[in-house]
Amino acid sequence: MPYKFTFDLSKVPHFFFSEIAMVSYQRGMHKSLIKKLQELIVRFRIQEATGLNLSDALVLLEDLIDLQAVNAIERGKFLQTRKRALFLPHCSRKYLDSRCKAVFNPDIPSYTCAHCSADCLVNQSVQLATKKAYDIYIVPGGSCIPKIMRNTNYEGAVGVACGEEIKMFGPLLSKLDVAGQAIPLIKNGCANTIFNIETLAKVL
Ligand code: SF4
Ligand code: SF4
């Protein structure tokens, strides 16, 4: 399920994400995580930047913190894996209409990028992951992932999606004993979405 709200954190200073990582690392040390997140929301003017109300902003930040924490827990196991997959969201393609030359194969189901645009986030991610020998899937929705995972035997998986989509796959990865790493979108909305390509490069 996507979020019931849209957000765009792509213009928020990069330092904000370092703070999120720090809070995630120290989460047991904060008496009230909510209070700490409220401080961050005020300090980085998250509501002004995104138009979110306080409750939705808290949901978003809590998800970012949780995903960071799970990434840290899974990191050691992930680094031991050899056979890995990268799942990219179709919504981060530069174009969602016929200008995108990716070919969709419903049997997988996945798009294959045709590299039509150098500044397309999906294209850049495909190039990064190809160099590292990942199998790459550009999926039209999270519901495609269980089918792909059940027909393969990956040891590790990296997923890019909005936080709520990613959280749905934690139980599936645990059940299949697959080490996961997550890259949350910093702009959602199901079209022209954005994630941090530098973060993806580091995770891969
Ligand atoms: S670079 Fe690939 S994913 Fe991006 S718009 Fe072109 S074909 Fe589609
Ligand atoms: S923003 Fe992208 S990843 Fe999130 S629900 Fe929409 S299409 Fe899926």
Of all protein residues, the one whose alpha carbon is nearest to atom 2 of ligand 1 is 113
Residue of 60, 88, 96 lying closest to 191 (CA atoms): 96
Q: How far apart are CA 139 and CA 67, in angstroms?
A: 20
Q: How far apart are CA 96 and CA 99, in angstroms?
A: 7
8 A C-beta contact, residue 30 and residue 36? yes
* Digit-coded pLDDT (tens) for 157-199: 999 999 888 888 888 898 899 999 999 999 999 999 999 999 9
Q: What number is the average pLDDT over the span 46-66?
A: 92
121 in ligand 1 pocket by Cβ < 6 Å?
no
pTM of the model: 0.93
Q: What is the DSSP letter of 4?
A: S
* Digit-coded pLDDT (tens) for 40-53: 999 999 999 899 99
Place of tokens 């995972």: 149
What pLDDT score was predicted for residue 96? Answer: 96
What pLDDT score was predicted for residue 30? Answer: 63
Of all protein residues, the one whose alpha carbon is nearest to atom 5 of ligand 2 is 2
